[in-house]
Amino acid sequence: MRPYADYAQLLKTLCIVCAETIKLKSGEVYEGVITDRNEKYVTLQTGGAPIYLSADQIDEITESSSVKAESPQISAEKTTEKVNVPSKEASLPKEYSQKDGLFKLNIPDDWQGKEMPGTVIIVPPWGGGGIVIKFQSVSASLTQDQIKTGLASSLEDVVKNKIETSGGSVIENKEITIDNVYGRSLFYNVSFNDERMYFIRILFVNKGYSFSIDYGGPSKEDAENVVRFIETFKFL
């Protein structure tokens, strides 16, 4: 039956598309979205599962102004840079609207939105710890029960395949509402290079789209502050 195919599609599409390419000194290459970086490591989000790369192993980072979507392929203009992390500064919130009028939310005044097909990355001036919002069309025939089951199943995969295998722990796994729309939120931490990393993953479905919002960084306080900005998310 069609609803079950749509349910499988929902599970498949709850992931992150690629935006940067990281080349290691060993010659290995990784693609994904950089969600945090400092003098010790870079966190690369790839399909919902973050990869941690030691900074001393990285040769170069190539950042695309657009990305290769699942279909069709889109040409990307690239720039190459070495890892560099400016200092952080406090800022006041401002309103950011997705370019096609799908949603808006408040973000820190000195953070900038970077849009690609199906993806918005809200990046701070120091280049790490950004908010990654992905959205992809799904069938409107999904029932509310199927949506709830699909979101819970997706987060359970993160718990089993990432948190439990990385010496991490779940801080909070709960049902939420985003602009009066049902969603699920997972707040957790994992251990990397003897340092505790904090991650947020929020999932919901509305207006024929599945949404995922991801954030990761070394500060629990920063992660909690990001949640406050995500709570301002509004559909247009």
**pLDDT tens across 146-201, in order?**
999 999 999 999 999 989 988 899 999 999 999 999 999 999 999 877 788 899 99
CATH number at 18 reads: 3.40.1000.10
Please provide the average confidence, as pLDDT, over all residues in the chain: 78
Query: Global pTM?
Result: 0.68
Give the pLDDT score at 88: 43
Q: Is the pLDDT of residue 34 over 50?
A: yes
| 221/213 Cα distance (integer angstroms) | 18
In the chain, alpha helices (H): 2-13, 144-158, 220-230
Q: Pick the closest to residue 205 from 180, 231, 182, 235 (CA basis).
A: 182
| Domain span including residue 189 | 2-235
Q: Of 71, 78, 72, nearest to 31 (Cα)? A: 78
Of the pLDDT bands very low, low, confident and very high (cuts 50, 70, 90), residue 235 is very high
At residue 9, does pLDDT exceed 70? Answer: no
| Higher pLDDT among residues 186 and 8, named by residue | 186
pLDDT at 211 over 50: yes
Query: How is the beta sheet containing 119-123 ordered, strand by strand?
Result: 112-116, 119-123, 131-137, 209-217, 195-206, 181-192, 169-178
pLDDT band, residue 16 (cuts 50/70/90): very low
> What's the structural domain count of the chain?
1
Q: What is the pLDDT of residue 65?
A: 41
Phi–psi pair at 6, nearest 5 degrees: -65, -35
